[in-house]
Amino acid sequence: MPVSPSPARQAAVDLLTQVLGEGRPLSDMAGRALAPADRAAALRLATETLRGLERADRLLKPHLRKRPALRVMNILRLGTVELCSGGAAHGVVSDCVEIAAAGKRSAGAKGMINAVLRKIAADGPAAWAKLRVPRLPRWLRDPLVAAWGAPGVAAMEAVQFRAPPLDLTAKGDAAALAEALGGTLLPTGSVRLQEAGQVSALPGYVDGTWWVQDAAAALPAKLLGDVAGKSVLDMCAAPGGKTLQLAAAGADVTALDLSATRLERIRENLGRTGLQARLVAGDALVHEGRYDAILLDAPCSATGTLRRHPDLPHAHQGERISGLIELQGALLDHALGLLKPGGRLVFATCSLLPDEGECHIEALDDRPGVTVLRPEAPGLEEGWRSEEGGLRLRPDFWADAGGMDGFYMAVLQAG
Ligand SMILES: C[S@@+](CC[C@H](N)C(=O)[O-])C[C@H]1O[C@@H](n2cnc3c(N)ncnc32)[C@H](O)[C@@H]1O
């Protein structure tokens, strides 16, 4: 009698087909009725498979006479990645066979899937360990080599294709949180967990004593300095990690975002953490007001976050980047006009491309009344400082401790 495959593996195969067949990101999971634990496991499996895609395809190639249909290929990829990362052979292989049997376009391949995955179970793990570190996609690799050199990009790739740790920002005492969760307190104040499992099952999630935020992503809000009692505009705010930081630091926060749907995520996050901010759905380019401080975490290629989002290179090939660079410039220009005299603005993008970071600040050279301030926050390293006065963070920084997201940030003062 056929056994039902695990709902998480089944949903992971569907997610892979969504990303690799339709170019839709993993975050687009609308309409999937899954228990929270299965949903988290499906996302984790799909993410790990995408991270291991190049290696899985290399291992599978000698076993395939011709390339099978995408769904079949994705079942094989999922099985290969699981088997090569310690998954129990019997459970993985039989689940993959049952998932194939349940689909019209894959049922005919279940014998082949069974045979191939049994071979992978036998010699895949040893072969996997010898495969080369995967490369970033060409459209991204070429400009990165031009900016950071081939050895720099190789160092980034060595980190990008490893599972990242989980970083948390504490609402209160970060040292106490690190101790309570058995994590490490990083020099910049984030708490790092190497093996976290399901996030919503961690102590303190329900009480909202912390939120998930990469250590690099936690820095822009800190660069605004002491914001207690100040009016602060979080100009591109959703899903709200930085809004939460600003609110927790006692600022009077206006959280603005173009997407009303994404703004709902901030509302949920504020509700969970018991923090407060004014939510505004609208286009930052026409927003009006005067603020003591502004955080502009501008929309960008997100190329600094590929280790957490290995689906991104499949959702776009860099074709939107020139439009994003233009939008970032326009947002920065408008934001500077919303600052009170002497007010401070932090510009940030989670991109590895200088066109989305350093170049915007260099272009301000001839803008009267704008000063680039030296970024100051606990734990900053001198090697992170860039020539034009910002901070350049790369995935290969703190590599031994698990790296960090790629980010650029700079502090500006008006008047
Ligand atoms: C990098 S994300 C912001 C992440 C957020 N700061 C955080 O820490 O959670 C960029 C955001 O900019 C928003 N956005 C894009 N264009 C915008 C515009 N013209 N006005 C306001 N928000 C915009 C997007 O909806 C997206 O939520």
In which residue ranges of the chain is pLDDT below 70?
1-3, 30-32
Residue 198 lies in a domain: yes
Residue 406 lies in a domain: yes
The annotation status of 126 as a binding-site residue, yes or no, is: no
Residue 347 lies in a domain: yes
CA of 183 to the centre of ligand 1 (A): 30
Same domain, 108 and 186: no
Same domain, 120 and 170: no
CA of 234 to the centre of ligand 1 (A): 9
Rounded Cα–Cα distance for residues 25 and 23 (Å):
7
Q: Is the peptide bond before 239 cis (omega within 30 degrees of 0)?
A: yes
State the closest ligand 1 atom to the C-alpha of 238, by its place in the atom list counted from 1.
Answer: 27
Half-sphere CA count of 78, side-chain side, radius 13 A: 35
The annotation status of 86 as a binding-site residue, yes or no, is: no
Same domain, 367 and 227: yes
User: Which pLDDT score, from 0 to 100, does residue 357 have?
Assistant: 98
- Helix 53-60 crosses helix 36-51 at what angle (to 10 degrees)? 70
Same domain, 263 and 343: yes
Residue 138 lies in a domain: no
Same domain, 106 and 187: no
Beta bridge partners of 255: 234, 279
Structural domain span for residue 114: 7-130
User: Which pLDDT score, from 0 to 100, does residue 317 have?
Assistant: 78
Pocket test for ligand 1, best of 257, 261, 269 (most atoms within 8 A of CB): 257
State the closest ligand 1 atom to the C-alpha of 299, by its place in the atom list counted from 1.
Answer: 10
Same domain, 170 and 98: no
Pocket test for ligand 1, best of 232, 258, 285 (most atoms within 8 A of CB): 258
Rounded Cα–Cα distance for residues 284 and 186 (Å):
33
Same domain, 185 and 295: yes
Cβ-Cβ contacts under 8 Å for 378 (sequence gap 6 or more): 187, 188, 189, 222
Same domain, 257 and 376: yes
CA of 233 to the centre of ligand 1 (A): 12
Residue 141 lies in a domain: no
State the closest ligand 1 atom to the C-alpha of 239, by its place in the atom list counted from 1.
Answer: 9
Residue in this structure with the two tokens 């990645």, named with its chain if needed: 81
Beta bridge partners of 256: 280
State which of 76, 104, 130 marks the end of a domain. Answer: 130
Residue 150 lies in a domain: no
Give yes or no for a contact between 148 and 92, defined as CB atoms under 8 angstroms apart.
no
Residues annotated catalytic, as ranges = 350
CATH number reported for the structural domain that contains residue 89 in this entry: 1.10.940.10
User: Which pLDDT score, from 0 to 100, does residue 32 have?
Assistant: 65
User: Which pLDDT score, from 0 to 100, does residue 27 have?
Assistant: 82
Total domains, the chain: 2
Rounded Cα–Cα distance for residues 84 and 159 (Å):
18
Same domain, 250 and 177: yes
State which of 111, 130, 149 marks the end of a domain. Answer: 130
Residue 157 lies in a domain: no
The annotation status of 400 as a binding-site residue, yes or no, is: no
Same domain, 29 and 82: yes
The annotation status of 214 as a binding-site residue, yes or no, is: no
Residues with CB under 6 A from ligand 1: 236-242, 256-259, 262, 283-285, 297, 299
User: Which pLDDT score, from 0 to 100, does residue 1 have?
Assistant: 42
Rounded Cα–Cα distance for residues 408 and 304 (Å):
9
State which of 69, 102, 130 marks the end of a domain. Answer: 130
Give yes or no for a contact between 70 and 107, defined as CB atoms under 8 angstroms apart.
no
Residue 155 lies in a domain: no
Rounded Cα–Cα distance for residues 321 and 359 (Å):
14
CA of 236 to the centre of ligand 1 (A): 3
Rounded Cα–Cα distance for residues 48 and 86 (Å):
13
CATH number reported for the structural domain that contains residue 186 in this entry: 3.40.50.150
Q: ipTM above 0.90?
A: yes
Same domain, 65 and 20: yes
Rounded Cα–Cα distance for residues 288 and 235 (Å):
11
Same domain, 47 and 181: no
Rounded to the nearest 5 degrees, what angle is found at the Cα of 16, between the Cα atoms of 13 and 21?
Answer: 120
